[in-house]
Chains A and B, each alone.
Chain A
Amino acid sequence: MLRKTIALSLLSASLIATNANAADKLIVSTWGGSFKDLIDKAIGQEFTKQTGVEVEYVTGGTIDRLNKAKLAGSAESDVTFTTSHVGWLYTNDGLFEKLDMSRIPNASHLVDQARLSPSHIGVWGYVYTIGYRPDMVPEGITFDSWNDLWSPELEGMIAFPDWDPSHIIAVSAKLSGTDAEHWEQGQDKLKALVPNIKAFYTNDANSQQLIATGETSVQLLLSMNAYHMMDEGVDIKLAMPKEGAVLGVDAMGINKGTEQADLAYQFMNIALSPEVQANIARINRGSPVVDNAKVDPEIAKLPGMLTTADQWGATLDTDARLRAEKTAEWRKWFSENIMAH
């Protein structure tokens, strides 16, 4: 009896596994929440419309999914969305296929900042900049320059992301007359910011909650999240410091060993089509990474939207490969010298 039960269980499990690997769907690894919704609405549904193939999403945090891909040993998804610098970790660890760009014709319009590596390319851009609650900051405060974050009037008011200090490290380096590669010269500047730091947020949801409740009225904020909250009715303003906002590019790559390479290439090509790129800008204010997308002018003029070469060029752009290599060093220094105080 027991043997029959075990045999039946194994048979059922193998049938389920067979179905999960069926050839009529594309598995996409992505973040959850509004980013998964954006990918589904803007890219996934268009992909299904054009190919008749369903898209299945597996969601998780950036690093969790990287670890899973590393530990799995074989492709558990076909296409992966991640950040530009973590994309380099996939690339360095051989977790992405080398891209055959001739199979992604729309990629010929990619802006330079979205040509990331031989294995991953950008899918939308955004900026990390100063987001604030205008009704909760001291009167007269403006954020024309990143230096304004150091104002004594902002003592104990600012929040930063706790998982990636690269943005504020790049800003401190810039204000100290150098760049992220020579970030050590900006250490003293960054240490001087400690009195103004109230907290560090853990993820996008945590960031949104802290600024929506007014717990931290000034944040180093991802522009797409800011617009998402504005759509939800939270009174937030995005500042564009004269030194430039910090550029971020989210990326996509094809998982090594996928059996759905053809579909994966089609998916990526659709993602970079001008119509889909304009849709990404419309839905979540992600900046198009191709130069031929026609973005609604009302959206294009919003702070943080990058629709011209000049706007892309005016951002603080830290090389994604440098970020990947420096992340551990920056994060440890940040923990020991900024968060510990």
Chain B
Amino acid sequence: MTQRPAFVPWFVLPSVLTALGLMVAMLTVLQYSIRAHIPGSLDVGGYTLDNFQDLYKSIYINAFVTTAWLSIKTAFFGLLLSYPLAYALVRTRSGWMKSTILIIAITPLFLGEVVRTYSWIIVLGNSGFINSALLAIGLIDKPLQLMFTQTGVVLALVHVTMPIMVLMLATGLSHIDPAYRRAATSLGAGPVRAFLTITLPLSLPGIVASLTTAFAWTFSAFATPQLIGGGKVSTVATLVYQLGFSSLNFPFAAALSIVGLILTVLLLAAFKWMTHSLQRVGAH
């Protein structure tokens, strides 16, 4: 019989305490969602379900749809940009190249989300880098409106999520035994066919994991939609902020948060169900 090392409970303890803390926080939010708002006070009143009644209004339904749509687009475009980087990171034999790719990929992680977002405001603005470059080469004759649009928000969110997607994809790719690809090549498969029939299917678990993470991360993103969206791109997180922190209507903001959380769980469950067969393909 194997003896469990004595330090294991100490290692697990922080996780348990963190989970308990999160659980208490979530129960508090749940409790707030069924309490009445008292105008002019931070205190809450008696128990009520009124906070959930307004959520059928188009502004809140649109916010849920916008959030889901932004998350899907961010995960998809994030994957398109991150996969080649992760692939190059794993495949390259040059240490210099590997370091360069790694630095490019993970440097954004060292900047806060707010700093990165403020930088994007400069890039996406009417006189920002993108518009100036397009105007200079004559592709457009007036600046494109990128700020305060979903396009601008997705661009910035892709940048925010890319580092973590690259790392997850690279981990998945590095676990693929190179012998499989060599076997395919020795049997006459070209590089494209070897990639499509060997590497891509075997990297599906990494793809699914990175898509799931990017989706969940984007669903709860706040600073980027708030600052780049400029109030014109309403998401669940920005509405919770506006209604909770600006209006001091914490019960209504809590109700919105609870519904947002349920929706996230349902969407992630649906995504897991849809990708279940893909993950089995990638099992090796």
- Asked whether, in the complex, the Cβ of B59 is within 8 Å of the Cβ of A340, the reply is yes
Which single residue of chain B is at the shortest CB-CB distance from A64?
B245
Beta-carbon contacts under 8 Å, A176-203 to B: 198-202
Q: Mark A136-179, 1 if CB is under 8 A from B, else 0.
A: 00000000000000000000000100111000000000000000
Known contacts A162-B242, A340-B234; A66/B42 CB under 8 A: yes
Bound-complex Cα distance A340 to B63 (A): 9
B242 near A328 with CB under 8 A, answer no
List 17 A-B pairs, Cβ < 8 Å. A64-B245, A67-B42, A89-B40, A89-B42, A163-B246, A198-B148, A198-B230, A206-B227, A209-B118, A213-B128, A214-B126, A321-B40, A327-B247, A328-B247, A332-B247, A335-B243, A339-B232
Provide the main secondary structure of the chain B interface.
Answer: loop
Q: Is B248 an interface residue (CB 8 A)?
A: yes
Interface centre among A201, A210, A214, A321, by most B CB within 10 Å? A210
Nearest chain-A residue to B128 (Cβ)? A213
Query: Which 6 A-B pairs rank lowest in CB-CB distance, beginning with the nearest?
Result: A200-B231, A199-B230, A331-B247, A325-B40, A163-B246, A340-B59
Q: Is the CB of B147 within 8 A of A215?
A: yes
Nearest-neighbor residue (CB-CB) of A340 within chain B: B59
Complex Cα distance, B229 from A159, in Å, reads 12
Residues of A whose CB lies within 8 Å of any CB of B are 61, 63-64, 66-67, 70, 88-89, 92-93, 159, 162-164, 198-202, 206, 209-210, 213-215, 321, 324-332, 335-336, 339-340
Q: Across the two chains, which residue of chain A brings its CB closest to B232?
A: A199
B230 touches A201 (CB 8 A): yes
Which of A67, A324, A325, A328 gathers the greatest number of chain B CB atoms within 10 Å? A328
CB-CB < 8 A to A64: which residues of B? 245
Knowing that A198-B148, A332-B249, A335-B243 touch, tell me 10 more A-B residue pairs with CB under 8 angstroms: A67-B42, A93-B43, A159-B230, A199-B147, A210-B230, A327-B39, A329-B39, A332-B247, A340-B58, A340-B234
Q: Is the CB of A164 within 8 A of B42?
A: no
- Which residue of chain B is the closest to A321 with respect to CB atoms? B40
Chain B residues whose CB sits within 8 angstroms of the CB of A340 once the complex forms: 58-59, 62, 234
Complex CA–CA separation, A64 to B244 (angstroms): 11
Task: Tell whether B204 is near chain A: CB-to-CB under 8 Å.
Answer: no
For the complex formed, measure the closest distance between the CB of B249 and the CB atoms of chain A, giving whole angstroms.
4
Contact with A along B85-99 (1 / 0, CB 8 A): 000000000000000
Distance between Cα atoms of A66 and B243 in the complex (Å): 15
Contact A331 B121, CB 8 Å, known A199-B230, A200-B230, A206-B227: no
**CB-based nearest A residue for B59:** A340
Give B33-62 as 1s and 0s: 1 = Cβ < 8 Å from A's Cβ atoms: 000010111110000000000000111001
- B32 interface contact, C-beta 8 A: no
**Residue of A with least CB distance to B231:** A200
Q: Decide if B205 is an interface residue (CB 8 Å cutoff).
A: no
The closest CB in chain A to the CB of B223 belongs to: A202
Structural contact, A199 and B231, CB atoms closer than 8 A: yes
Contacts of A213 in B (CB 8 A): 121-122, 125-128
Assembly CA distance A92 to B128 (angstroms): 46
Residue of B nearest to A156 (CB): B145
| A262 to B13 alpha-carbon distance, docked (Å) | 45
Q: Provide the residues of chain B in CB contact with A164, threshold 8 Å.
A: 246
B208 at the binding interface (Cβ < 8 Å): no
Bound-state CA distance A156–B121 (Å) is 18
Return the contact of B39 from the options A63, A328, A339 (Cβ within 8 A): A328
A200 CB contacts on chain B under 8 angstroms: 230-232
Check A63 against B37 for contact (C-beta < 8 Å): no
In the complex formed, the residue of A with least CB distance to B242 is: A335
Q: Which residues from chain B contact A329 at a C-beta distance below 8 Å? A: 39
Q: Is B239 an interface residue (CB 8 A)?
A: yes
**Interface contact A89-B248, CB-CB below 8 Å:** yes
Cross-chain contact of A209 among B42, B59, B121, B248 (Cβ < 8 A): B121
Contact residues of B between 220 and 271, Cβ < 8 Å to A: 226-227, 230-232, 234, 239, 242-243, 245-249, 252
